[in-house]
Homo-oligomer: A and B are copies of this chain.
Amino acid sequence: MERTDLGRVMAFTDGVMAVAITLLVLNIEVPDLPSGRRDELGEELADLLPSLGAYALSFALIGRFWAIHHRLFETVRAFDGTLMALNLTFLALIALVPFAANLVDRYGEEPIADAVFGTTLGLAALAHWTMVRHVLRRGFVHEHERTAAETFGGSLALSFTAIFLLSVPAAFLSTLLAQALWVSTILARYPLRKLGGRSS
């Protein structure tokens, strides 16, 4: 299947991820104050800071998934029904992030809320890793990009999945620990530039 056909798969993927990432803002609710208490707006806005943090984290996570997906599909030159199904599964998990982020935003100190967030992101990372393994096994990757694609399917990529899944039991020890694990995936320098040595 030629790149033009892949183009539409990517356009749909970009569309879903763009909508999901923008829906995150709906989780930050404008305070509802009666006219007599409008001078409390400052305090109410200060109370929104954790929501803003959840927004920034989720935005960064979806953004990073988008960047990785983007980099993977650059190396791909063909696809089949299985890849389509895997990609849809990946998107269904990404589209759940606004829900999971809202849950953490409102019930962040409840371990179960963080467990749901960790599971959603962990499964998304797993779906992505499975896609990489699939395109490599089926030979859907441009020959000169094979090393690049392999980076995404290697142990480093799997460690991304592992950190999210590890955050699930970690949340029951300490919700703060789980949240620190998520942040670490943002701070970790994913070796995007190594891929084919083209991205700097």
Residue numbers of A with Cβ under 8 A of B are 1, 5, 8-12, 14-26, 28, 30, 33, 38-39, 41-42, 45, 55-56, 59-60, 63, 66-67, 70, 74, 79-81, 84, 88, 91-92, 95-96, 98-99, 102-103, 106-107, 109-110, 112-113, 116, 192-193, 198-200
Contacts and interface: CB of A to CB of B under 8 A. Distances in A.
Contacts of A98: 25
Contact of A199 (B11, B55, B79): B79
30 contacts: A9-B70, A12-B17, A12-B66, A14-B15, A15-B15, A15-B18, A15-B19, A18-B19, A19-B22, A19-B23, A20-B25, A21-B91, A22-B95, A23-B25, A25-B95, A25-B96, A25-B98, A28-B99, A38-B110, A39-B110, A45-B112, A45-B116, A59-B91, A63-B88, A67-B84, A67-B88, A80-B199, A81-B192, A81-B199, A84-B192
Nearest to A56: B92
The secondary structure that dominates the A interface is helix
A192 B41 CA distance: 39
Given A19-B22, A67-B81, 8 more contacts: A5-B70, A5-B74, A15-B19, A16-B22, A19-B19, A33-B107, A63-B92, A80-B200
Contacts of A63: 88, 91-92
A59 B199 contact: no
Contacts of A12: 14, 17-18, 66, 70
A74 B3 CA distance: 12
A30 B199 contact: no
Contacts of A5: 70, 74
A83 to B, nearest CB: 10
A95 B24 contact: yes
A10 B8 CA distance: 8
Nearest to A52: B96
